Structure formats: structure tokens, C-alpha cells
Amino acid sequence: MKKVAVITGGTKGIGKAIVKKLAANGFDIITCSRNSGELDDLRSEIENSYVGIRVLTRQSDLSLKGEVNDFVKFIVSSKSHIEILVNNTGIFLPGEISSEPDGHLETMINTNLYSAYHLIRGILPMMMHDKHGHIFNICSIASIMPYANGGSYSISKYAMLGMTKVLREEMKPHGIKVTAVLPGATLTASWEGVDLPPSRFMKSEDVADAVFSAYNLSENSVVEEILIRPMQGDI
């Protein structure tokens, strides 16, 4: 049976790099984004670049529980064997807890944490039935090290790492691997306008390579955390 990977937020940055890495290695892709045009472009790019690969897309705002549930139904209706789930959807709004605009916490908790929580709960029955699969949660350096102007973003990412650790323990008896991915500053749209050279950032492709390498281990082993920083340290 053809292996399928579900990657949320697959049209840009780390998500797109993971989509391309997995497609290049024979995975069909199911992904979502809030932008339907970007989804169409991604599907055309991947299917034209990798012969025989199928890309299923759905426009979704995963900060809304109802749309997460609709995305789960879309995945289930595809009757796919889900080998990999990558929870990559996220948003960064700068600010400090003492002064950030009201609603920042709710927005980032909904997008960065609850989207993954509800999607995992929707897909796990399929993986648990197969007694197989690998879940990657894209956390952040901010999951372990608060920084200035990180505010509620760090709160959401600390929570994401905590949820990943809990899930790892729960899935041990079911043969499902769970990995937290903690990237440092990566050259994505989140850093547009910053006056720093590209060499100061990590590449999205490096994160994708690390994810695929962790997936490729034998059934006897699991990488619980992938911590990657820019060569010259955090920004």
C-alpha cells in the first residue's frame, strides 16, 4: 500500500521543505493551508516534479476546531494509510506578556497547539489500528528557551513540547513513534525584513532532512527530540 504523509501548513517554509523531501522519497501527500492558490501551486509543482506522486489538498484554517475536524474527515475519506503526520501549522505574533495585544495568547494557542491536539486525536485511531506510524510535532527553540518579545508564542510552544512528551509515553504500547522537532531561526517568511544575511539562518531543507532521517530508523529506535540551531547560535 502506498505510504501517505499528512503535513499541515505545507505551502511554505519548513512545511514545504518536508513535503518535497517526502514526495521525493515516494510518499503521497495530504496537506492544507489557508490559501487555496498556494495549495494549487504546490500540487502542480510536486506532481510535475515527482512522477506518480499524488497530492491531496484542502483549504483549511486549523485555528478553528471545526475546520480541523473537516480536515480529519477529508483525510479519512481518502482511505489512505497514514505513515507520517507532521503538525507544522503555526503563527508567530511578537510581544511581551505584560504588553502584547489582548487575544495574542488565544490566537497562538489555537493555531500552534490546539490544531495539533485535535488533528492528532482525529488521526490516531487510524494509526493505532495499524499499530504503526510516526508523528512529528514542529515545536521551536522557544519551547525550551524564552526570549525577548516571545511572549505568548513561547507559551504555546512550551505547551506543544509538553504535549509531545505526553503523547510519546501514551503511544509506546501502540507502536507509534512520536518526535518533537525544535528548530532554531530558519530562513522562512517569519523572518522577512530582518537585516541579517541568509547565512545566519538555518535552511528549511536541513529540518526536512533531519525529519526524514529520524523516520528512517529501525522499528527498534525512536528519536524523541530533534534540536537544531543555526551554526553561529540563536538569533
Active site residue ranges: 153
Q: For residues 200 and 176, is the Cβ–Cβ distance under 8 A?
A: no
CA angle 1, 81, 3 (to 5 degrees): 55
Q: Name residue 70's amino acid.
A: D
Matching residue, cell 494509526: 127
| 44 CB-near residues (< 8 Å, 6+ apart) | none
On whether the CB atoms of residues 9 and 15 are closer than 8 A, the answer is yes
Q: In degrees rounded to 5, what are phi and psi of residue 178?
A: -135, 130
End-to-end CA separation in angstroms for the chain:
43
Of 104, 86, 92, nearest to 179 by C-alpha is 86
Q: Work out the burial of residue 206: count CB atoms within 10 Å of its CB; fewer than 13 is exposed, 13-18 middle, 19 or more buried.
A: middle
Distance (Å, whole) CA 6 – CA 226: 19
Helix (H) or strand (E) holding 206: helix 204-215
Amino acid occupying residue 169: E
